[in-house]
Amino acid sequence: MQSGVQVTDNAGQQSTAGRRYCIGIVGAGKLGCYLGAHLCQDSALEVKFFGRETTALELAAHGLSVTSCTHHTYFAQPIAFYSSLNSLIECDLVLLTVKATALVPMLAQLKHFLRPDVPLVALQDGVGVGEMLSHDLSNPVIRALATFSVLKIRPGQFHRATAGALFWQRNDFAVVNYVSSTFSRLQLAVQLCDDMASAEFGKLLLDLNQALNAISGLPLPQQLADRDYRAVLALAMREWLAVCHRAGVKPQSYSRVNNSLLPWILRLPTLIFCRLCQQMLPTDASAHSPMWHDLKANKRTEIMFLNDVVVRMGQQYQVPTPVNGLLVEQIKWLESGQATSMTGADILRRLAH
């Protein structure tokens, strides 16, 4: 496969003992294309992309390139892109990057085409994804989380808009560990994790803002600069932290700040908040949450894997969750086209009543 960047992979050649691993990227959207372009830099890997035919045509016409604030542009052209999963049988490892809402219909196809010994890395946001996949698949399921967001800035060009890393479940599979080391060599930080429940719970704490951003309709930097929206987010986070405490899970922290302090920091005056959290804020002034993009594209959102988890687990552990309940309700109205954007002040008034 041709590549626009030369990367030394002598260590990789030794790790693969002279063979080429075949890696499948299933659900090659923004995140899948971003990760796949990195893997295409390594001559010891054969990368196959699986996704929509429209994406295949777009990449055939424009090629695939990815950028980030931490590295040069990586090119991957030509690439092997398939609109059906027939060739999945050839893969030694699958990175599953479809949305959590697409997992159920995807399972039947994976069972049909995926060899039962092939590890599957699940990169969905939300809690309980690994358990759901392990229940329905005989394949080893490795959990991973991307703590950064990827934007498509123009056809075939994807940009990492926020800082972050891949949190990767520690495992003993040579091909999985080779791929994670490839990401590390290509300036995409990978952090091995022994407690994925803690990682999922901590990521969900940050993802609670996805719904709020979609409800606001504003770019993320503008929404987070609004003290009322931050007050709502602080309340939503307090609810989830209370659930985590009752469930006996300590959420992973993805910043230098202790999770318990995040709601307090969100309530600070805007000028102080922006100065303190400059490195945590999105680097792209026009960035929106994935949930906002789903609503704009008239797609089902992942609300049931995010804020609705807080509501359901709150019921299980008898922790009140009115803020997240209101956010879930509003997103469902937006999905049905029967609601409009709400200001942070609107939400606070609704909660007060």
Q: What residues form DSSP beta bridges with 120?
A: 94, 141
pLDDT score of 322: 97
Domain co-membership, 309 together with 327 = yes
Domain co-membership, 255 together with 273 = yes
pLDDT score of 162: 78
**What would the pLDDT profile of 93-123 be if each residue is shown by its tens digit?**
999 999 998 998 899 899 999 999 999 999 9
DSSP state of 287: -
Most confident stretch, 152-166, 294-308, 311-325: 311-325
Domain co-membership, 172 together with 205 = no
Q: Is residue 149 in some structural domain?
A: yes
Domain co-membership, 266 together with 179 = no
> How distant, in Å, are the alpha carbons of 2, 8, 60, 165 from that of 5?
9, 10, 19, 21
Please give the average per-residue pLDDT across 213-227, as a whole number.
93
Is residue 65 within 8 Å of 37, Cβ to Cβ?
yes
Q: Is residue 172 in some structural domain?
A: yes
Domain co-membership, 254 together with 127 = no
The type of residue at 111 is: K
Q: What residues form DSSP beta bridges with 268?
A: none
- Select from 167, 194, 221 the last residue of a domain: 194
Percent of the chain with pLDDT over 90: 72
CATH number for the domain including 67?
A: 3.40.50.720
Task: Quickly state the pLDDT bin for 339 (edges 50, 70, 90).
Answer: confident
Distance in angstroms (rounded) separating the CA atoms of residues 321 and 310: 7
- Select from 194, 227, 255 the last residue of a domain: 194
Domain co-membership, 147 together with 225 = no
Is residue 323 within 8 Å of 352, Cβ to Cβ?
no
Please give the average per-residue pLDDT across 263-288, as a whole number.
81
**What would the pLDDT profile of 259-273 be if each residue is shown by its tens digit?**
999 999 999 999 998
CATH number for the domain including 207?
A: 1.10.1040.10
pLDDT score of 242: 98
How is the beta sheet containing 190-193 ordered, strand by strand?
80-82, 45-50, 21-26, 93-96, 120-122, 141-146, 166-169, 190-193
- Give 17's contacts (C-beta < 8 A, 6+ positions apart): none
Q: Is residue 4 in some structural domain?
A: no
Domain co-membership, 174 together with 283 = no
In 3-state terms the chain splits into helix, strand, coil percentages (rounded to 5) of: 50, 15, 35
Q: Which domain holds residue 36?
A: 10-194
